[in-house]
Structure 1
Amino acid sequence: MRPRSGGRERWRRVVIVGASATTYLLFCPANSALSQPIDPPPEGAQVAYGWREVWTGVDAARDQWLVYSGMTVAPWSRDIYSDGLRLRFGGGYGQYGYDIDPSRHDACEKIVAGACDDPGGGKKHYKVGQTYAELLIGYHLRLGALTAKAFAGASMSRQKHITDVPKTADDHDNGDGTYVGAKAALELWLDISPKAWTSLDASYTTARDETSLRWRAGWRVTPQISVGPELRYDKNRETDDGFWDDKESRYVRYDWDGRAGLFGRYEWQGGELSLAGGFASPVENWTAKDRSIYGTLNVLLQF
């Protein structure tokens, strides 16, 4: 149970928590960009909860991985489940890779500095490091079986090629740089019955014109364990750059990235452990291409 204190003490704690979280994100970045909210307790339950929650996790698929963390605080609410304003800090670091074959003329539509300068050089593999951070303010609202959270604020995304990308006289844009913009997020949780629930998380940021959606439907095997399917949609400014498809011998511009899989959650008072896995692939005209396996591990704690 969080200690009862006066308004001055509460403000002091908020400032300390905010400064610590900001420092951590700037110097030790660890998403989906989407948060991992623990499910709300039954309405009217007489249980003591903390007013802060932190989460961290890792997400990996073929040729890409991401480590992330974040914190949400409810400085003016009784606890993290009571209606009221929320402050959220989040960030992470990851890498992804892609190939370009200069011998394929169509592949040279891909604008990466120097990638198409050596037609006889064979396929080249590029790795990109990416860091993101966000600072949001929002509101938590409980409407019977429905819990809704809405957030808005600022986000930053920095992208840099790790492998050597030779420069040319034209100095083509390879997408490297720091992008800053606005972000909005909406998180919905609905208790369908004591045995079933569903959730939808959505976010959009102008920093890289990035949209993310994730839907889950859970069935409670026990009061602590839930299992079910999940679907995810992701799109950003790089998604439709496309890649050379060796199987189809053509340059493909993908519409978005999709995932379909299963998850399992173990929850306890003040915490949650979530595992998910399935298939991820770029999608062109609603047809999945170049499938790979993905996995996600997330831990959330309240205090």
Structure 2
Amino acid sequence: MIVGASAAASLFFLPTHPVFSQPIDPPADNIQSGSGWRETWAGVDATRDQWLAYSGITFAPWSRDIYSDGLRLRLGGGYGQYGYDGLAPRSPCGDATENDACTEADREQRRYRVQHAYAEMLIGYYLRLGALTAKAFAGASMSSEQHLVKDPAVDRDGTKYGFKGAIELWLDMNSRTWTSLDISYATARDETSGRWRAGWRVAPHVSVGPELRYDKNIETGDDNWNGRSGLFVRYDWTGGEVSVAGGVSGRVYDWDATDVSPYGTLNVLFQF
């Protein structure tokens, strides 16, 4: 019987659709006419044990521009890899029924890497209510994972399809401060994600502030989740923006963080 260590205790799993890839709306008084009815974005995200590259596009085909109320169509996708340490058998072991199963002495530490890809097609609605901007999306998603070296303890490779829902909120608290909250859930791998930001406009086109992130999926288990805490800088101009963020990422169990490492994110967006 082949025996391996459980990978779920040491992974930073990639979400199927990172909330940090979503564009952030500017305050109402900064909106420029002629913004276009399409916006496209791309970015990269990395920690010590994973990396992800992603891109997407949103259409507002029946609205005056991307900042007017109305239906939205969104396409997105990405590819990345993550790694973890697990135990693997040194050689084939015997039959557990004959009391000859693998023991700790029969196993060795091994580094595993997994490639991950996702895609989604969503339809939603954009609504501006004074200082509050709300977007809601729903549709189909795909998540695929494949070990580059097979782990005998993990049998989750393959492509899964499911439903994806997302809500994105932006609130201008005054002329210099704003806050945003993005949450999503995908059934393909039972993934829940959330990100909160609070921004201070230190200049007309520059915002800085803290961000918090929460990720949980089927691999993390019932009592575990992945968390992030960091700072971001966002620069916007007519027709685009760039956002950079960094901080610490870790796995949280009973509010104790383990496997802590730095993370970094870069995201760019253009409207046309």
How far residue 33 of structure 1 moved from its aligned partner, in angstroms, is 4.7
Q: Residue 44 and residue 196 in structure 1: after superposition, are their counterparts in 2 closer, same or farther (change >3 A)?
A: closer
User: Structure 2: where are the runs of 5+ without partners?
Assistant: 1-16, 90-101
**Are 1:61 and 2:47 counterparts?**
yes
**Are 1:204 and 2:185 counterparts?**
yes
Match of 1:183 in 2: 164
1:89 to 75, 87, 105: 75
Instruction: Give the distance between the partners of 2:223 and 2:231, measured in 1 at CA.
Output: 24
Moved beyond 6 Å, runs of 4+: none
Identity %: 64
Q: Residue 118 and residue 128 in structure 1: after superposition, are their counterparts in 2 closer, same or farther (change >3 A)?
A: farther
How far residue 188 of structure 1 moved from its aligned partner, in angstroms, is 0.1
Query: How many pairs are equivalent?
Result: 244
Larger strand share, 1 or 2: 2
* Kept after mapping to 1: 8 A contact 2:54/2:79: yes
Q: What is the SS of the residue equivalent to 2:203?
A: coil
Q: What is the SS of the residue equivalent to 2:259?
A: coil
Match of 2:224 in 1: 255
How far residue 117 of structure 1 moved from its aligned partner, in angstroms, is 8.1
Instruction: Give the distance between the partners of 1:46 and 1:33, measured in 2 at CA.
Output: 25
Q: What is the SS of the residue equivalent to 1:291?
A: strand
Instruction: Give the distance between the partners of 2:215 and 2:31, measured in 1 at CA.
Output: 36
Instruction: Give the distance between the partners of 1:47 and 1:75, measured in 2 at CA.
Output: 16
How far residue 128 of structure 1 moved from its aligned partner, in angstroms, is 0.5
Q: Residue 98 and residue 254 in structure 1: after superposition, are their counterparts in 2 closer, same or farther (change >3 A)?
A: farther
Which one-letter code corresponds to 1:66 in the other structure?
Answer: L
TM-score normalized with structure 2 length: 0.85
1:72-221 pair list within 5 angstroms: 72-101=58-87, 119-165=105-151, 174-221=155-202
Higher relative contact order (CA 8 A, sep 6+): 2
Instruction: Give the distance between the partners of 1:117 and 1:93, measured in 2 at CA.
Output: 36
Instruction: Give the distance between the partners of 1:53 and 1:42, measured in 2 at CA.
Output: 17
Instruction: Give the distance between the partners of 1:296 and 1:46, measured in 2 at CA.
Output: 27
Larger helix share, 1 or 2: 1
User: Structure 1: where are the runs of 5+ without partners?
Assistant: 1-30, 104-115, 167-171, 241-252
CA RMSD of aligned residues (A): 1.9
The superposition leaves residues 216-236 of structure 1 with CA deviations (integer Å, 9 ceiling, x where unpaired) of: 000000010000000000001
